[in-house]
Structure 1
Amino acid sequence: MIPSVLPTYTRAPLHFVKGEGTWLVEEDGRRFLDLGSGIAVNALGHAHPALVAALTEQAGNLWHVSNLYEIPQQQALADKLVAATFADTVFFTNSGTESCELAVKMARKYWYDKGQPEKTDIIAFEGAFHGRSSAGIAAAGSEKMIKGFGPVLPGFKHVPWGDHDALHAAIDEATGAILIEPVQGEGGIRPLPDHCLKGLRELCDEKGILLILDEVQCGMGRTGRLFAHEWAGISPDIMMVAKGIGGGFPLGAVLATEEAASGMTAGTHGSTYGGNPLGCAVGCAVMDHVADEAFLSDVNRKAGLLRQKLESLVAAHPEVFEGNRGMGLMLGLKCKLPPADLVRAGYDALVITVPAADNVLRLLPPLTITEDEIGEAVARLDTAAGAVTPSASSPV
């Protein structure tokens, strides 16, 4: 008999009932250090006072009116995002998947209105993850994502990660945009080198095509800058945002230049819940913290400390780890064993991590993690690594 919750998840046998900063409390009282942040969502940790206050105040006033009317909280958050980024305009969604759908529509509508409706193709990269909608799985293109869900939405080409020749060869008269994550998350914490991101921007300018960045996982301070592309000193034409922007409240956005968004006129897109007063009130509180330069500087300082301690962890467990990689507090431990083994061992060691492709264990702690918590987290990872070390399970 099918369960009342559709069985699309393989869930861990954990029942968290409370969150406090970097900690999750199981119903049996055990306290777990959370290095997953709900998959990079809880940027300011659990139950951050500023977010609780913003949500509580707004909940006592107004929850929802729809986008048939002006929403002051939405305008305030859009203004904050425009002031802090390349963007001239913002559309609010409820998730990264919805942001992907709009980014694809926006790029295609742009070329249609420019009198070049044939420019519908979007080039994406192997190992990418852009959500689980029709456009999202078509953009990812992997068999795992699209098997059984055909016919797949047309208009996407896929090239290997880091293959410049294949990228150039894929561009033709039908190419309208290039879509890429500055740091692949699900793909195994693979940062795109700054010179490659600069090269992509130059290529798009040379060929007259749009650059779409997916910063759903790597944005909102995760890499030590407000958005990861800032490290390369470039700007996209369109950018997808979600996860950390709501600090745990479902919220996403598409940011764009005035030119790239020029085709999205009244009636071309909409959302019943997107940009509702609750979500945007919380988003404003998140931005007030995450966009602060002192806050980002502290993220970078703590990221350096964590990276240093992870180097020692890797050296202490050569049978388990090959190395670590990533940017800011978006880090990955390259494993010699299936990362799921370490995730499960972490449960016993009371530490939460997230698996990814390419045999990588993702570490995505709240950006508010303290130095003491970093030390405790690595100690618990050390315990987990010891538990899965091949010699540890060998008969004496």
Structure 2
Amino acid sequence: MPSGLPMLSAKNIKARKISFDEYRLISQDAFDHEDKRTSITPGDVLLTIVGAIGRTAIALDSHQKFTLQRSVAVLKPDAIASKYLSYLLESPEAQSFFEKNAKGTAQKGIYLKTLGGMKVPVAPVAEQARIAQALDGLLAQVDTLKARLDTLPALIKHFRESVLETATSGKLTENWRKNYGNREWKSIAVGELCRLKSGIAASIDLEHHEGSHKYFKVGEMNLKGNELYLHETGRYLSLDDFSEKALLPAGSIVFPKRGGAIATNKKRILKEESFVDLNVMGLIVPTGVEVLYVYRWLETIDLAKLNTGTAIPQINNSDIAPLIIPLPPSDEQYEIVRRVEQLFVFADQLEARLADARQRVDALTQSILAKAFRGELVPQDPNDEPASVLLERIAAQRAAEPKPKRGRKTAAH
């Protein structure tokens, strides 16, 4: 068992909570050294100040002893209640301050001195409690809504998988088939139905920025516009350098055959006759067979399970060729493709609505926080002690505190 004491970082501060799921362990001596700097006590507000700036959490009595890396600031409120401060730092005004004042290139951060100069609205103590209580209730409802929305991508993914399963098993067109004499499907190996062809290795000095024949690598599968058909690329090869026999015809279904990209399960269709990289394999679908039907069937295949590589994942022709594809008559292939596309359009619409709903919920959180710190969320009580009085009392207390003695400087020799 690993030993040591926990040192957390910015990644442990999320959803206004401190996560102990994963952290670094340090020795007792190292912990004591860091603890002098952080000195975390219950009620302290933790603020991420490097990378994902502006996430907060409050240290609680129930938390185990821990220290923090410098990516998290420890704020010890005097005039402000911990919950009030935590919410305030997540408000649009505070987030805007962080965005404007963050410094750095690879990873931006907020300096503690900059953070110390940040002006914040301070409500009377009693009103701070009312605001925090109101935000607890409202944002809990928002969080519940977010959690429900977070379950929907998995449901939509399952819906797509179910569509493909029913499509390639014959269930999707079962009633349609009854009107056409219940013609039987065939089961045929991929290697018997399609021609398998791998790509070519082309050195970068033979690539061009324009030309008559496009050249696709695995990376092009990630480009916007290439989600189904491959047509966007900045690479071209010339027939002066490569044989015409190396071309894959339009309608070929291509996918990664080597490396970690296999696990992404990306499959694409060539929009036009093209060259592909050596790390790509193509299925050349024969005339008379609906390319999109074969493509949708291939979507049901997990390429990662076909991997026969050891150190480097790899798929060979011998891994693909024996796979059995259920093949309906050509008119039913077309009908299956039509129905699948129709259902997938519906799934696309659901995903678009989900994305819009998430944006609205995120905007709702910021709207509630903005309203709270404009003084519009809860009623104000004229009997509350004014915040100015509170601030004056704290200033007086700080002025009365003994100043730390400064050590005498020794002369340099």
> Which category describes the TM-score, using the shorter chain as reference length?
under 0.3
* TM-score, structure 2 normalization: 0.23
- Looking at CA atoms only, which structure, 1 or 2, has the larger radius of gyration? 2
Higher strand share: 1
TM-score (norm 1): 0.23
Greater relative contact order structure (CA < 8 Å, 6+ sep): 1
